[in-house]
Structure 1
Amino acid sequence: MIKDLPPNVVKDIAIAVALESESVESKIWYVYLINLQNQPLENVLITSKGYGEKDGEQVKTSTLRHAFPVVDANSFKLVEPIDEQTFGLNNEYWLSYYIGREIFDKKFIFLPESIVDDNFIKLPIINKPGVMIR
Protein backbone atom coordinates (compact mmCIF):
# COMPACT_ATOMS: atom_id res chain seq x y z
CA MET A 1 0.00 0.00 0.00
CA ILE A 2 1.17 3.52 -0.76
CA LYS A 3 0.47 4.65 2.81
CA ASP A 4 2.97 2.04 4.04
CA LEU A 5 5.85 3.50 2.01
CA PRO A 6 8.31 5.76 3.82
CA PRO A 7 8.14 9.44 2.78
CA ASN A 8 11.46 9.38 0.92
CA VAL A 9 11.91 12.42 -1.31
CA VAL A 10 12.92 11.89 -4.93
CA LYS A 11 15.74 14.29 -5.86
CA ASP A 12 17.92 14.64 -8.95
CA ILE A 13 15.83 12.22 -11.01
CA ALA A 14 14.06 13.31 -14.19
CA ILE A 15 11.79 11.97 -16.90
CA ALA A 16 12.40 13.59 -20.28
CA VAL A 17 10.85 13.52 -23.72
CA ALA A 18 13.57 14.02 -26.32
CA LEU A 19 13.41 14.74 -30.02
CA GLU A 20 15.56 12.01 -31.57
CA SER A 21 15.32 12.90 -35.24
CA GLU A 22 13.29 15.04 -37.55
CA SER A 23 12.44 14.78 -41.21
CA VAL A 24 9.95 16.45 -43.52
CA GLU A 25 7.46 13.62 -42.93
CA SER A 26 7.79 13.05 -39.18
CA LYS A 27 9.56 13.52 -35.88
CA ILE A 28 10.78 10.65 -33.71
CA TRP A 29 10.46 11.05 -29.94
CA TYR A 30 11.71 8.97 -27.02
CA VAL A 31 11.10 9.05 -23.27
CA TYR A 32 14.15 8.78 -21.00
CA LEU A 33 14.80 8.30 -17.30
CA ILE A 34 17.72 10.50 -16.23
CA ASN A 35 19.62 9.76 -13.02
CA LEU A 36 21.44 12.95 -11.98
CA GLN A 37 22.49 11.44 -8.65
CA ASN A 38 25.98 10.23 -7.76
CA GLN A 39 24.62 6.79 -6.85
CA PRO A 40 22.90 4.07 -8.86
CA LEU A 41 19.19 3.31 -8.78
CA GLU A 42 18.21 -0.34 -8.33
CA ASN A 43 15.09 -2.34 -9.18
CA VAL A 44 13.63 0.53 -11.20
CA LEU A 45 9.99 0.19 -12.26
CA ILE A 46 8.15 2.67 -14.49
CA THR A 47 4.53 2.55 -15.57
CA SER A 48 3.34 4.86 -18.32
CA LYS A 49 -0.09 5.81 -19.59
CA GLY A 50 -1.87 8.60 -21.38
CA TYR A 51 -5.31 9.97 -20.57
CA GLY A 52 -7.48 13.00 -21.23
CA GLU A 53 -9.95 14.39 -23.70
CA LYS A 54 -9.62 14.37 -27.46
CA ASP A 55 -12.32 15.57 -29.86
CA GLY A 56 -14.80 15.80 -26.97
CA GLU A 57 -14.33 12.18 -25.85
CA GLN A 58 -12.39 10.70 -22.93
CA VAL A 59 -9.33 8.81 -24.16
CA LYS A 60 -7.01 6.36 -22.37
CA THR A 61 -3.94 4.65 -23.74
CA SER A 62 -2.65 1.27 -22.69
CA THR A 63 -0.61 1.12 -19.50
CA LEU A 64 2.95 0.04 -20.22
CA ARG A 65 5.41 -1.27 -17.66
CA HIS A 66 9.19 -1.07 -17.80
CA ALA A 67 11.83 -2.52 -15.48
CA PHE A 68 15.56 -1.88 -15.19
CA PRO A 69 17.75 -3.80 -12.72
CA VAL A 70 20.16 -0.82 -12.39
CA VAL A 71 20.42 2.74 -13.66
CA ASP A 72 23.99 3.87 -13.09
CA ALA A 73 24.89 7.17 -11.42
CA ASN A 74 24.85 10.18 -13.75
CA SER A 75 23.37 8.19 -16.62
CA PHE A 76 20.10 7.63 -18.46
CA LYS A 77 17.91 4.81 -19.74
CA LEU A 78 15.65 4.78 -22.76
CA VAL A 79 12.15 4.05 -21.46
CA GLU A 80 9.97 4.00 -24.59
CA PRO A 81 9.15 5.71 -27.87
CA ILE A 82 6.26 8.16 -27.67
CA ASP A 83 3.86 9.13 -30.46
CA GLU A 84 3.26 12.82 -31.17
CA GLN A 85 -0.47 12.13 -31.27
CA THR A 86 -0.44 11.62 -27.48
CA PHE A 87 1.01 15.10 -26.78
CA GLY A 88 -2.56 16.44 -26.41
CA LEU A 89 -3.12 14.06 -23.49
CA ASN A 90 -1.72 13.85 -19.98
CA ASN A 91 1.29 11.52 -20.24
CA GLU A 92 1.95 9.98 -16.83
CA TYR A 93 5.09 8.15 -15.73
CA TRP A 94 5.09 6.56 -12.28
CA LEU A 95 8.61 5.75 -11.11
CA SER A 96 9.66 3.48 -8.22
CA TYR A 97 13.22 2.49 -7.34
CA TYR A 98 15.55 1.52 -4.52
CA ILE A 99 18.71 3.10 -3.20
CA GLY A 100 20.13 0.54 -0.83
CA ARG A 101 17.21 -0.74 1.23
CA GLU A 102 15.09 2.43 0.85
CA ILE A 103 12.29 2.69 -1.69
CA PHE A 104 11.48 5.89 -3.58
CA ASP A 105 8.46 6.68 -5.68
CA LYS A 106 7.25 9.66 -7.74
CA LYS A 107 4.68 10.44 -10.41
CA PHE A 108 5.73 12.64 -13.36
CA ILE A 109 2.96 14.07 -15.59
CA PHE A 110 3.50 15.87 -18.89
CA LEU A 111 0.38 18.01 -19.24
CA PRO A 112 -1.42 18.36 -22.58
CA GLU A 113 0.51 20.43 -25.10
CA SER A 114 3.52 20.84 -22.75
CA ILE A 115 5.83 18.99 -25.16
CA VAL A 116 6.36 21.91 -27.54
CA ASP A 117 9.38 23.72 -28.98
CA ASP A 118 8.89 26.68 -26.59
CA ASN A 119 9.58 24.37 -23.62
CA PHE A 120 12.68 22.70 -25.08
CA ILE A 121 15.95 22.68 -23.19
CA LYS A 122 19.21 20.84 -23.81
CA LEU A 123 18.66 17.72 -21.71
CA PRO A 124 21.47 16.99 -19.23
CA ILE A 125 23.57 13.85 -19.83
CA ILE A 126 21.57 12.99 -23.00
CA ASN A 127 22.55 16.25 -24.76
CA LYS A 128 19.46 16.32 -26.98
CA PRO A 129 16.63 18.86 -27.23
CA GLY A 130 13.53 18.02 -25.24
CA VAL A 131 11.25 18.66 -22.28
CA MET A 132 12.15 17.47 -18.79
CA ILE A 133 10.34 17.10 -15.47
CA ARG A 134 12.39 16.82 -12.28
Structure 2
Amino acid sequence: MKKDIDIPEVNGVYLAAVKQFNKDFRAEEWNAYLINDRDDALDMVLIVSRGFSEKDQTSVMRHKIEKLPPKSFAKVEFLQEEVLALNNEFQVTFFAENKMFEKKFLFRKNTINDKALRELPLIPEKGILLK
Protein backbone atom coordinates (compact mmCIF):
# COMPACT_ATOMS: atom_id res chain seq x y z
CA MET A 1 0.00 0.00 0.00
CA LYS A 2 2.73 2.51 0.92
CA LYS A 3 4.46 1.94 -2.42
CA ASP A 4 1.30 3.15 -4.19
CA ILE A 5 1.34 6.56 -2.49
CA ASP A 6 2.89 9.24 -4.67
CA ILE A 7 4.66 11.86 -2.55
CA PRO A 8 5.79 14.62 -4.93
CA GLU A 9 9.15 16.28 -4.36
CA VAL A 10 9.05 19.97 -3.47
CA ASN A 11 11.14 22.15 -5.79
CA GLY A 12 11.40 25.93 -5.99
CA VAL A 13 9.93 26.58 -2.54
CA TYR A 14 12.29 27.90 0.14
CA LEU A 15 12.23 29.30 3.63
CA ALA A 16 14.50 32.18 4.59
CA ALA A 17 15.39 34.04 7.75
CA VAL A 18 15.91 37.70 6.83
CA LYS A 19 17.41 40.37 9.05
CA GLN A 20 15.59 43.67 8.60
CA PHE A 21 15.47 47.08 10.23
CA ASN A 22 12.13 47.78 11.91
CA LYS A 23 11.47 51.52 11.60
CA ASP A 24 8.79 51.52 14.31
CA PHE A 25 11.03 49.96 16.96
CA ARG A 26 14.31 51.29 15.50
CA ALA A 27 15.92 47.88 15.81
CA GLU A 28 17.23 45.03 13.69
CA GLU A 29 15.00 41.94 13.76
CA TRP A 30 14.80 38.51 12.12
CA ASN A 31 11.74 37.47 10.12
CA ALA A 32 10.91 34.16 8.43
CA TYR A 33 9.79 34.33 4.78
CA LEU A 34 8.36 31.72 2.45
CA ILE A 35 9.71 32.04 -1.11
CA ASN A 36 7.87 30.68 -4.16
CA ASP A 37 10.46 30.54 -6.95
CA ARG A 38 8.19 28.27 -9.05
CA ASP A 39 6.35 29.20 -12.24
CA ASP A 40 2.97 28.40 -10.69
CA ALA A 41 1.08 29.68 -7.65
CA LEU A 42 0.92 27.90 -4.30
CA ASP A 43 -2.64 27.52 -3.02
CA MET A 44 -3.83 27.11 0.56
CA VAL A 45 -0.37 27.25 2.14
CA LEU A 46 -0.36 26.03 5.74
CA ILE A 47 2.72 26.57 7.90
CA VAL A 48 3.21 25.08 11.35
CA SER A 49 6.25 26.35 13.23
CA ARG A 50 7.85 25.59 16.57
CA GLY A 51 11.10 26.10 18.40
CA PHE A 52 12.63 23.32 20.47
CA SER A 53 15.74 22.01 22.22
CA GLU A 54 16.46 19.21 24.65
CA LYS A 55 15.17 21.36 27.54
CA ASP A 56 12.91 24.04 26.09
CA GLN A 57 10.00 24.27 23.69
CA THR A 58 7.94 27.15 22.28
CA SER A 59 4.26 27.22 21.51
CA VAL A 60 3.23 25.84 18.14
CA MET A 61 2.36 28.62 15.70
CA ARG A 62 0.07 28.14 12.71
CA HIS A 63 -0.06 30.38 9.64
CA LYS A 64 -2.10 30.36 6.45
CA ILE A 65 -1.42 32.00 3.11
CA GLU A 66 -4.42 31.72 0.80
CA LYS A 67 -2.39 32.08 -2.42
CA LEU A 68 1.30 32.76 -3.03
CA PRO A 69 1.78 33.88 -6.66
CA PRO A 70 4.66 32.56 -8.78
CA LYS A 71 8.05 34.24 -8.26
CA SER A 72 6.97 35.91 -5.02
CA PHE A 73 7.49 35.72 -1.28
CA ALA A 74 5.51 36.30 1.91
CA LYS A 75 6.45 37.07 5.49
CA VAL A 76 5.57 34.17 7.77
CA GLU A 77 6.56 35.32 11.25
CA PHE A 78 8.81 37.44 13.42
CA LEU A 79 11.61 35.42 15.06
CA GLN A 80 12.29 36.60 18.58
CA GLU A 81 15.93 36.76 19.65
CA GLU A 82 15.34 34.13 22.35
CA VAL A 83 14.17 31.46 19.89
CA LEU A 84 17.30 31.75 17.75
CA ALA A 85 19.10 29.64 20.37
CA LEU A 86 16.58 26.85 19.67
CA ASN A 87 16.01 24.61 16.66
CA ASN A 88 13.28 26.28 14.60
CA GLU A 89 11.13 23.94 12.50
CA PHE A 90 8.66 25.01 9.81
CA GLN A 91 6.32 22.37 8.33
CA VAL A 92 4.96 23.73 5.02
CA THR A 93 2.00 22.16 3.19
CA PHE A 94 0.46 23.55 -0.01
CA PHE A 95 -1.44 22.67 -3.18
CA ALA A 96 0.00 23.09 -6.69
CA GLU A 97 -0.44 21.17 -9.94
CA ASN A 98 -3.61 19.64 -8.44
CA LYS A 99 -1.43 17.85 -5.85
CA MET A 100 -0.64 18.32 -2.21
CA PHE A 101 3.01 19.01 -1.35
CA GLU A 102 4.71 18.97 2.02
CA LYS A 103 8.19 19.92 3.18
CA LYS A 104 9.88 20.39 6.54
CA PHE A 105 12.47 23.17 6.96
CA LEU A 106 14.76 23.26 10.00
CA PHE A 107 16.99 26.09 11.17
CA ARG A 108 19.37 24.42 13.62
CA LYS A 109 20.03 26.29 16.86
CA ASN A 110 22.30 29.32 16.57
CA THR A 111 22.50 29.07 12.74
CA ILE A 112 20.46 32.25 12.29
CA ASN A 113 23.20 34.84 12.68
CA ASP A 114 24.94 37.67 10.83
CA LYS A 115 27.85 35.47 9.70
CA ALA A 116 25.49 33.23 7.71
CA LEU A 117 23.86 36.02 5.64
CA ARG A 118 23.79 35.35 1.88
CA GLU A 119 22.01 36.56 -1.26
CA LEU A 120 18.44 35.24 -1.56
CA PRO A 121 16.27 34.43 -4.58
CA LEU A 122 13.57 37.09 -5.18
CA ILE A 123 14.09 38.92 -1.85
CA PRO A 124 16.27 42.03 -2.27
CA GLU A 125 17.83 41.61 1.20
CA LYS A 126 20.36 39.14 2.55
CA GLY A 127 19.33 36.22 4.74
CA ILE A 128 19.75 32.54 5.53
CA LEU A 129 18.14 30.21 2.99
CA LEU A 130 16.79 26.70 3.53
CA LYS A 131 16.12 24.62 0.41
Q: Same fold (TM over 0.5)?
A: yes
Q: What SS class does the counterpart of residue 126 from structure 1 fall into?
A: coil
- 2:72 is aligned with 1:72: no
Q: What SS class does the counterpart of residue 121 from structure 1 fall into?
A: coil
Question: Which is richer in strand?
Answer: 1
Query: Which runs of 5 or more residues in structure 2 are unaligned?
Result: none
Residue 21 of structure 1, CA deviation: 1.1
CA distance in 1, matches of 2:86, 2:127: 17
Query: 2:120 pairs with 81, 105, 123, which one?
Result: 123
The match for 2:43 is 42
**Cα contact 1:89–1:111 (8 A) shared by 2:** yes
Q: Once superposed, what is the RMSD of the aligned Cα atoms? A: 1.9
Q: What SS class does the counterpart of residue 112 from structure 1 fall into?
A: coil
Query: 2:56 pairs with 46, 59, 84, which one?
Result: 59
- 2:44 is aligned with 1:31: no
The match for 1:111 is 108
The match for 2:129 is 132
TM-score (norm 2): 0.89
CA distance in 2, matches of 1:28, 1:59: 22
TM-score (norm 1): 0.87
Tell me the alpha carbon deviations over residues 43-82 of structure 1, each in whole angstroms, 9 at most, x when there is no partner. 10000000004xxxx1000100001110000000110111
Percent of pairs identical after alignment?
31
Residue 103 of structure 1, CA deviation: 0.4
CA distance in 2, matches of 1:22, 1:47: 24
- Structure 1 residue runs of 4+, over 4 Å off? none
Q: Tell me the matched-pair count.
A: 127
Tell me the alpha carbon deviations over residues 18-60 of structure 1, each in whole angstroms, 9 at most, x when there is no partner. 001179x84211110000001100010000000004xxxx100
